[in-house]
Amino acid sequence: MDRLDRKLQELFPEILSSLQASVRIPSVRASAEKRAPFGREVGRALDHALREARRLGLRTGECDGYVGWAEIGDGDEMVAVLAHLDVVPAGDGWSLPPYGAEVREGRLYGRGAMDDKGPAIGALWALHAIQSLALPLRRRIRLILGTNEESGMADIPHYLQAGGESPRFGFTPDGDFPIVAAEKGQLHVDLRGALPPHRRIGLKKLTAGTARNVVPDEAGATLSCPDETAAARIADVLNEGASAGGIPLSLRGKGTETLDVSLRGRSAHGSTPERGVNAALFLMDLLGEVDEDWARRLREVARCFLGDPGGRSLGLAVSDAPSGALTCNVGIVEGGEDSFLMGLDIRHPVTADAEELLDRLGGWARGQSLGMELLRRKPPLWMPPESELIRRLQKVYREKTGQEPSLLSMGGGTYAKALPNTVAFGPRFPGDPDVVHKADEYIALDSFSRTVRIMAAAMVELAS
């Protein structure tokens, strides 16, 4: 292991250069093209990684542009490292070019630097180092490079359906250190309701959010008013309610018969709704200031979710020791005229019964005269502490860091759910800030170097 560490430290300038080249490819999902089912730039990122692998003397393979892989060693069994090369859109608020891959003050900045191109490229070079040192292995080691982790995870199922091999052991460097042994189950549910007819002030449109698994940071509504006087009066009512609640409200058109209302909150991942400020729910609640039955209806429903990320009002408040409490995020709200829709992202504990939770939610929905539709259901993941995979990864982490490797849980989902006997292992260290999916995403070079060495040691340990 000392030889492997020294080798990787010698290679680090080349590893960094390889990562910069990958980050400079804006591999955001786009329209499918030939041999690039998730868009040209995603295909370019996969091509770059596979060219690097071949240049480093690794065996490579590819599955219809969905997945590529690089492999070393021999044997009937295989150890897998799963990483992905697609990224979320850059978004706003960057102080440096999001695809510039610039190094400043010991950090490499760019979309995907941490999630997940840094670990992916680092694992590629770890394979090269292991092979160049001719370290003894009982199992093959395969780095599986996915291309659709951020927008549906259709890539790994395609790989398996095409005959792709499953591992004896595996890990995905797309979570946290020490080890993520539990990932909550996920339910995507839509709720639909009717709105009473308006008397004077009507709702033409209500919209917030683009994905169920994101706390919406902006919400807007368009109100129809019988005249300018009514629009101005409603604007005053909403302003007063917003001021009392400390809500950042914007109004346009109060001198016309149409009033546009917008409200800003704070975004967060849908698995941690308590970290955000849900603009959709605050706007629905604020609209309750309007003297209309439809407005009171929106407020009534919104208050079942406001300040209650654990779903207590819905009868969903459950928790367990391995993974913690259930969370419920309202990620999408759409409405207008006579109806509204709310898109929920529910992350439930690993020991919870999903059917029972759906029954409870259905009972609550019926009591609220809401229709309910289940759109997605993903089972949880729980790797017991006594499993061989956990014990081996704990051994590696303990030896490489000198710290006791506790077991973590997360509400988000990783590739670990896609293949058997696999968990998330790195790359974020305890205490490090969470920069994933945010403006000015970066990976600290010292942490990156340490992550590569830990991954390499884990590969050797699992393949030995």
Catalytic positions, please? Answer: 86, 149
Token digits of residue 404: 């006791």
Token digits of residue 29: 């999902």
**Separation of alpha carbons 358 and 189, rounded Å:** 9
Buried b (16+ CB within 10 A) or exposed e, 253-292: bbeeeebbbbbbbebbbbbbbeebbbbbbbbbbbbbbbeb
**Separation of alpha carbons 264 and 155, rounded Å:** 35
CA 283 and chain centroid, separation? 25
Token digits of residue 274: 């308590």
**Separation of alpha carbons 141 and 139, rounded Å:** 6
Token digits of residue 407: 């077991």
Token digits of residue 47: 């091509």
CA 352 and chain centroid, separation? 22
**Separation of alpha carbons 186 and 240, rounded Å:** 39
Tell me how far apart the 2 most distant CA atoms of the chain are, in Å. 82
What does the DSSP 8-state code read for residue 441? -
**Separation of alpha carbons 304 and 281, rounded Å:** 10
